[in-house]
Structure 1
């Protein structure tokens, strides 16, 4: 193996570990965790599209498990930022909506995330960010192809989830 390739690979692993360990995420409004902010922004996005907001759909889009989402919903409900209601006659079916305060928090979270991204782009440079996006798309394409092609042995995390990718960002299923 070429030494420069090995060095690049080591550098990539180190950066991935640092990003995972340091939880490098955009800032969130005071009083909510990054997970709560991401959940509220997902609910707000679904509200804007007029979709019924079911916990399963929120879990898909926010790349979280239903049990973790349930805990997040509980915390958000206790803070008065969301409301959960039974949907119709089915006692198991629940819908979620933001309260007025929840909408304010979601809008503030979106504003802070966008401002953070603009600062990152200004620091890194638009051209380099465009290259980064192009390269990351290729990495995702590789993972999608290897998972879809039944070649999950190439990737230690197993098959790719069926959830659609969140256009607003979120956790990558494999890295």
Structure 2
């Protein structure tokens, strides 16, 4: 067993400074906390993201919501189908353009989103706790800058 531990330490030494490796494993650690936190609400992180986008403003089409989330159309259809099956969203015809459907939260979806967001935030706080409040805020800010900056800038 010690050999495996040594191998793990060697891999950590080799890859522990690579940004991609660190981001991937940080995300996996966060998922280990967020998954169980969201489970009581019957949601996973992707479904909660859909609910959050749909709750953020005017009713959106599936395509508009997919663009905001950065997911493809097929994935979005599957996510909305699952949420609709749980009674959290509903599709309806767009009043201005009858060829398009909009997706809106149901009352149950609004309650589930609010409660699940509280659980998600608690899981994130737990994940970031080793950094302390200021460093955690800096990390979040730095990641926001990175994802908003066009490649090559």
Tell me whether the two structures share a fold, i.e. TM-score over 0.5: yes
Structure number with the higher helix fraction is: 2
- Equivalent residue, structure 1, for 2:138: 131
1:140 and 1:76, CA in 2 relative to 1: closer, same or farther beyond 3 A?
A: closer
Distance 1:67 1:23 in 2: 28
Does residue 115 in structure 1 map to residue 126 in structure 2?
Answer: no
Aligned partner of residue 83 in structure 1, secondary structure = strand
How far is 1:86 from its partner? 1.2
Q: Where does 1:18-37 land on structure 2 (aligned, <5 Å)? A: 18-19=25-26, 22=28, 24-25=30-31, 26=34, 27-30=37-40, 31-37=42-48
Pick one of 99, 104, 113 that aligns with 1:97: 104
Does residue 75 in structure 1 map to residue 103 in structure 2?
Answer: no
CA contact (8 A) 1:29 1:105 kept: no
Pick one of 77, 85, 105 that aligns with 2:92: 85
Does residue 45 in structure 1 map to residue 45 in structure 2?
Answer: no
Does residue 59 in structure 1 map to residue 66 in structure 2?
Answer: yes
Distance 2:144 2:97 in 1: 41
TM-score, normalised with respect to structure 2: 0.71
Q: Where does 1:146-157 land on structure 2 (aligned, <5 Å)? A: 146=152
TM-score, normalised with respect to structure 1: 0.63
Unpaired segments ≥5 residues, structure 1 = 1-5, 150-175
CA contact (8 A) 1:41 1:109 kept: no
Aligned partner of residue 24 in structure 1, secondary structure = helix
Aligned length: 135
Unpaired segments ≥5 residues, structure 2 = 1-13
CA contact (8 A) 1:85 1:94 kept: yes
